[in-house]
Amino acid sequence: MKQEQRSHIWASVGTTLFMAALFLLLWLITIGVPRPEEDEGIMVSFGEMETGGGRPDGLTAAASVPETTAPAPAKPTSDELMTQEDEEALALARQREEELRRQREAEEAQRRAEEQRLAEQRAKEQAAIARANQMGALFGQTDTDEGSNGMPGESASSATKGNPIGHGSSGGNSWSLDGRRLKNSLPKPSTDFKQEGRVVVQIMVNAQGKVVSARAGAGTTISDEATKQIAVRAAYKAEFDVVDRPTAQMGTITYIFKLK
């Protein structure tokens, strides 16, 4: 019995010593670890009363936090404005150049079309003149005592008798106009000329039989311009029969000039 009590006593003493050693060890560990410094708070005063408190002496006021505002939109600089103006001016210049190019192309196309029309018209006139010259060579007569048909006693003016279609002669002069008849006789040119020869007047006759255009053309042997104009003025007075054709018709009137 004594042995058992002795064992309990030693067990209690051992337990007490173990707990004391463990406490001492934990205490030493806790003291050896540095404790982080805690941030001190800032005292804020609410209201104006003394009891509201304030910051203690020795503490500095907290730095004021600047208010954040939205940045104002940046204004364009002078360089940017000049760049915009240059771009706009360049765009307008390009547009103007494009308009001028299109205008030149349209004018060029119109000019080419007009040249082609005139070339075709000249070709038709030359063809009509060639036919007229051929017919004039075949049917042209001179003002002789024998008359235009070679019969003695017949005057030259009688060659217009009946007004043959397409060609004829009158007073030593001749005319050629396909499918048309001459009214009366050919107008006689003025005698105030200074050179002998032949003037072939190219004429254009409208549907009413009026000569609307006349000029000295191929086949003319007279170089004197005044004499040519005398023939042209006489040709303008010629009249032909009326037709139903809507367009003008080309022909010739040949005048023979002889000095007395």
Predicted local confidence at residue 84, as pLDDT? 73
Residue spans per domain, the chain: 88-260
pLDDT digits (tens, 9 = 90+) for 65-78: 556 666 666 666 66
The most confident of 71-75, 113-117, 150-154, 254-258, by mean pLDDT: 254-258
Mean pLDDT in residue range 24-44: 68
For strands 197-205 and 211-216, give the pairing.
antiparallel
pLDDT digits (tens, 9 = 90+) for 96-132: 899 999 998 998 898 888 888 877 877 776 666 566 5
pLDDT at 39 over 80: no
Predicted local confidence at residue 131, as pLDDT? 64
- Please name every residue paired with 198 in a beta bridge, in sequence order, or none if there are none: 256
Q: Which long-range contacts (CB under 8 A, 24 or more apart) does 208-213 make?
A: 208/242, 209/180, 209/183, 209/239, 209/240, 209/241, 209/242, 209/243, 210/239, 211/235, 211/236, 211/237, 211/238, 211/239, 212/248, 213/248
CATH architecture of 88-260: 2-Layer Sandwich (3.30)
Question: Sheet holding 249-257: strands in order across?
Answer: 167-170, 173-176, 249-257, 197-205, 211-216
Q: Residue 131 is encoded by which pair of tokens?
A: 């036919």
pLDDT at 148 over 70: no
Cβ partners under 8 Å of residue 139, min gap 6:
164, 167, 168, 169, 174
Spatial contact of 158 and 172, defined as CB atoms under 8 Å apart: no
pLDDT at 26 over 90: no
Mean pLDDT in residue range 234-258: 90
Query: What share of the chain has pLDDT > 90, as a percent?
Result: 27
Mean pLDDT in residue range 36-53: 57
Predicted local confidence at residue 81, as pLDDT? 62
**How high is the mean pLDDT of the chain?**
75
Pairwise CA distance, residues 183 & 217, whole Å? 23
